[in-house]
């Protein structure tokens, strides 16, 4: 049986929180009087709903610098509870990426790699709220200083999957980088 992290919360003049590991051997241990016992299993968090698990295909647009002229290709996404794998093309060359989510909905961490945008893993942070996941990170643009990168995953509509990426350029703000609008 998997051990669960147990938090014991006691109300007194202050809120006291302590954590310990619980195992089947501890089942007969009684919490102190006036304590509330709460089970927390971080591996049980589902960031992406089951309605969106599986394969998606659709129009992928990539903006290199001109916001009026995106490169278009067919894109795909494979979605599971905490991983998105996606594919697309640029000038006939196939590319792929992966976003791995961890943490809790109000404090997400994502590990992002992409064969064109981010060959080395980039760590982003963000949150999940009402069918949307918003992530943000920064990277060095060499002599141009620190730039930002935003990823938004939208699963509000059961019939579609949206993946949006924006490059955050100093003095310009967020500009479109990628939009994948996919359906089954």
Would you give the distance in Å from CA 171 to the centre of its chain? 27
Whether 96 and 76 share a structural domain:
yes
Whether 19 and 107 share a structural domain:
no
Whether 36 and 56 share a structural domain:
no
- Segment 74-90 mean pLDDT: 97
Q: What angle do CA 87, 151, 118 make, to 5 degrees?
A: 55
Bridge-based pairing state of the strands 93-104 and 83-90: antiparallel
Say whether pLDDT at 14 is over 60.
Answer: no
Our count of domains for the chain comes to 2
Whether 98 and 175 share a structural domain:
yes
- The answer to whether 106 touches 99, Cβ cutoff 8 Å, is no
pLDDT of residue 84: 98
The range of the structural domain enclosing residue 85 comes to 50-183
pLDDT of residue 72: 97
| Mean model confidence pLDDT for the chain | 83
Share of the chain above pLDDT 90, in %: 71
Q: Which of 13-17, 59-63, 70-74, 129-133 has the lowest mean pLDDT?
A: 13-17
pLDDT of residue 46: 83
Whether 18 and 60 share a structural domain:
no
In terms of pLDDT, which residue wins out, 66 or 26? Answer: 66
Say whether pLDDT at 70 is over 70.
Answer: yes
- Segment 32-44 mean pLDDT: 51
Whether 93 and 127 share a structural domain:
yes
- Segment 121-135 mean pLDDT: 97
pLDDT of residue 18: 35
Whether 67 and 157 share a structural domain:
yes
């Amino acid at each position: 049986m998997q051990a669960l992290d147990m938090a014991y919360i006691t109300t007194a003049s202050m809120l006291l929180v302590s954590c310990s590991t619980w195992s089947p051997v501890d089942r007969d241990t009684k919490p102190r009087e006036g304590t509330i016992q709460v089970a927390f299993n971080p591996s049980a968090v589902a960031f992406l709903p089951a309605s969106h698990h599986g394969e998606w295909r659709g129009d992928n647009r990539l903006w290199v610098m001109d916001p009026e002229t995106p490169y278009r290709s067919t894109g795909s996404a494979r979605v599971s509870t905490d991983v998105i794998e996606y594919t697309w093309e640029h000038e006939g060359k196939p590319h792929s990426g992966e976003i791995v989510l961890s943490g809790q909905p109000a404090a997400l961490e994502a590990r992002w790699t992409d064969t064109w945008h981010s060959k080395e893993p980039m760590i982003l942070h963000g949150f999940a709220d009402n069918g949307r996941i918003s992530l943000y990170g920064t990277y060095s643009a060499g002599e141009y200083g620190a730039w930002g990168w935003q990823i938004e995953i939208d699963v509000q509509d059961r019939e579609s999957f949206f993946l949006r990426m924006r490059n955050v350029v100093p003095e310009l703000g967020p500009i479109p980088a990628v939009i994948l609008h996919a359906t089954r």
